[in-house]
Amino acid sequence: MIELDHVSKAYAHPVLRDVSLNVPAGCLYGLIGPGASGKSVLLKSIVGLVKPDRGRILVEGEDVTKLDDLALQKLRLKFGMLFQNNALFDYMPVGDNIAFPLRRLYDLPEAEIQSRVAERLDRMALPGFQQRAVGGLSGGQKKRIGVARATVTRAPIVLYDEPAAGLDPVTSQKIFNLLRDEQRQSNATVIMVSSDVDRLLTVTDRVGMLLKGRLIFDGTTEQVKSSTNPAVKQFIYGLDEGPL
């Protein structure tokens, strides 16, 4: 489904260094690593927002790095994405926030749009929130609205960047459980970046770890838990064995 083949990217310094990985169709893939290890750049590269300096990125057989702007726009219809800060529009009520990608990308009857928005809000346990102001929502509610918008197009691939950032542990686990249930129901291919490793590992099928731009681990959730790689063990279990 998604394949990175020797992908490298540098700005003032290297951000991704010769990264190769495969994310199978229908997999919930967790991407972990310290700050500034290249996780968000990798997500943006997959969706074509960042162009690598070297390497290939294949999405359903199409090389993202070779596509022109029109072809990229078409490819992005296959993606839903939740950004770190939710990227909700404060001037729009909740319903219009969720409907935004449908109105921008598709020519759908308004009745269909409203039906999909209502279905997503019901699924997020926020029924009747269409006219609520974004500013009055709690952090957990904003995350749920962000998830609703990321999934309302029914895209086969969904990217989540820090979906539980800033949430308390209980709310964080609820968000991860929700994302796992969404993925199982839709069978979407999901890549999820999160610093909340303990809770992330309760929902993933496979895990990759980036360290200073290099992919130092790629395997199943059980394999990452039992990894003997010192850097992986330190990051997973918070061991004080020196800086990563």
Write the pLDDT tens digit of every residue in 159-196.
999 888 888 888 889 889 989 998 999 999 999 999 88
Checking if the pLDDT of 212 tops 60, the result is: yes
Mean pLDDT score, 188-214: 94
Q: How far is the C-alpha of 209 from the C-alpha of 201, rounded, in Å?
A: 12
Checking if the pLDDT of 14 tops 90, the result is: yes
CATH of 2-237, one of 3.30.420.40, 3.20.20.150, 2.60.40.10, 3.40.50.300: 3.40.50.300
Mean pLDDT score, 86-97: 91
Instruction: Categorize the per-residue pLDDT at 140 as very low, low, confident or very high, splitting at 50, 70 and 90.
Output: confident
Checking if the pLDDT of 242 tops 70, the result is: no
Burial of 238 (0-12, 13-18, 19+ CB in 10 A): exposed
Give the closest residue to 164 by CA, choosing from 137, 141, 143: 143
* Residue 243: per-residue pLDDT: 52
Q: Is 40 within 8 Å of 161 (Cβ atoms)?
A: yes
Mean pLDDT score, 109-121: 95
Mean pLDDT score, 62-69: 93
pTM of the predicted structure, to 2 decimals: 0.90
